[in-house]
Structure 1
Amino acid sequence: MNAHAVEDYQDLDAEIRADMDAAPRAPQRTVGLVLLIGGFLGWWASVALTLDKFTLLKDPHAKLGCDVNPFISCGTMLNTWQASTFGIPNPLIGIGGFAIMAAVGALMMSRVLLPRWFEWAVFGGVAFSFAFIHWLAISAIFFIHALCPWCLVAWVASAPMFFSVVARLVETGHIGAQGAVRRVLRSWVVLTLAWYLLVIVLIVVMFWNQWVLMFGL
């Protein structure tokens, strides 16, 4: 292959990469769909946890539907102080917060032109949610040593909501990332999957003895 052919292939490869970089990975309707689905899942989990909390208030020794064993148990989590971090049950915050995000998602899917302040407000909401999820996850895995199935649903819902909104802000220029940082932040699907993998690894490692007993390994 002569030098001219090599240069042509290199130019073509560069054009393809440029086109891929230019193509939006977080268009408004896609992010809206993520917020709508994630908001609904988080809201549903929050409602379920709220009902379970009411059950425990009536009978502190009640066995909940999601109480599988001592370490997979909603009841174990709901009876800790972390379950009411701000003085009220966390699920009540989730009911309101996730409902708002679902409504925002529906609005974004309608292709309404959103002002900059609104997009930053959405980012503030998902950032708070994701940070709070991290604190609860760390508490559950490293200190409480229990997993709440409905809490896991909220964790799963929050990650793509956060990463897709960040990608959207990068693509609209609200976050002025460049180069490799820009490419990474736009890859919200990859970031979400990487976060899921990290959490799964932590859960497997930190609860290894319990998994061995549970499955008779």
Structure 2
Amino acid sequence: MSQSSPDAAADEAALRAEVDAELAAERAAKKRAGDRRVGLVLLVGAVIGWIAALALFMDKIFLSANPGAQLGCDVNPFISCGTVMETWQASALGIPNMAIGLGGYAIMGATGALLASRAALPVWFRWAALGGMVFAFALVHFLAISAIFVIHALCPWCLVVWVVTAPMFFALLASTVERGILPARGVLGRVLRHWIVLTVAWYLLVAIVILAGFWRQWLAVLGLG
């Protein structure tokens, strides 16, 4: 026992030193998700998302008062806000999705303003903000999958919401990782910090899925179908 204890202590010390060195290297790495940058992403994204949600909300009220009316964003049978609004997915949580968007984007806009001003935010607030963006991004995926594979129609304003929510989510996630609030180390931590790359990759994935899901419709629009 007298011989194994020093060896165990030495191994533990070496492991701690390795972990400390790795953490120090990550802290010293170039900041990719500083508070000011992430705050501006959240603020700009929230403003655009809020405007899109408001446009959808107004269209929802108009459509309710004028059943069967054509909306300005009803371009053709598969690019149509009205078609999507008439499905149960448009109120999947019991209230119109655009109402959730109006409240959610307002909160994230305020959060973005606080981050951009470099306000000292408590850890619980940052966790709450990340939780809100996780919920928003999950809802975007549910609606995107429903629109492409179930409803077979795309809502232009919904696409705007998808576009702004992705960078908001990835930027806030990267910020949480950089600050050490979310313990993601090694390769995973380095990947999550590259929020711009992740956002672009997500855009490409969604574009490919939309292209494949509506292949016949695109051909018909181009006169090739």
TM-score normalised to the size of structure 1? 0.90
Query: 2:194 pairs with 161, 169, 187, which one?
Result: 187
Equivalent residue for 1:44?
51
* Cα separation, 1, equivalents of 2:104 and 2:189: 28
Corresponding letter in the other structure for 1:22: A
Matches of residues 97-112 of structure 1 in structure 2 within 5 Å?
97-112=104-119
The residue aligned with 1:34 is 41
Does the CA-based 8 Å contact 2:27-2:178 persist in structure 1?
no
Superposition RMSD in Å: 1.3
Alignment of 1:16-31 (within 5 A): 22-31=29-38
Q: Indicate yes or no: 2:174 matched with 1:148.
A: no
Among 92, 95, 113, which residue is 1:85 paired with? 92
Between the aligned partners of 2:106 and 2:221, the Cα distance in structure 1 is 36
Structure 2 partner of 1:160:
167
| Normalised TM-score (structure 2) | 0.87
Structure 1 stretches of 4+ with a deviation exceeding 3 A read 18-21
Paired residue secondary structure (1:49): helix
- 1: CA distance, partners of 2:175 / 2:69: 44
Which among 96, 100, 103 is matched to residue 103 of structure 2? Answer: 96
> Separation in 2 of the partners of 1:116 and 1:91?
29
Partner of 1:3: none
Deviation sequence 1:11-56 (CA, Å, 0-9, x none): xxxxxxx699711000000000000011011101100000000111
Please say if 1:121 is aligned against 2:128: yes
Question: Which string of whole-angstrom CA distances, capped at 9 and with x for unpartnered residues, describes residues 168-217 of structure 1?
Answer: 01100011111111110000000000000000000000101000011213
The aligned counterpart of 2:12 is none
| Equivalent residue, structure 1, for 2:4 | none
Partner in structure 2 of residue 215 of structure 1: 222
| Structure with bigger gyration radius | 2
- Number of the residue aligned with 1:202: 209
Matched, 1:65 2:86: no
> Shift of the alpha carbon at 1:147?
0.2
Identity value in percent: 60
Aligned mates of 2:139, 2:223 — CA distance in 1: 34
Counterpart of 2:60 in 1: which secondary structure?
helix
Any unmatched runs of 5+ in structure 1?
1-17
Secondary structure, in 3 states, of the residue corresponding to 2:171? helix
Question: How many aligned residue pairs are there?
Answer: 200
Asked if 1:175 is matched to 2:192, the reply is no
Q: Secondary structure at the match of 1:29?
A: helix
| Cα deviation code 1:97-124 (max 9, x no counterpart) | 0111011101111111111000001001
Aligned-partner residue type, residue 103 of structure 1: A
In structure 1, how many angstroms separate the alpha carbons of the residues matched to 2:202 and 2:210? 12
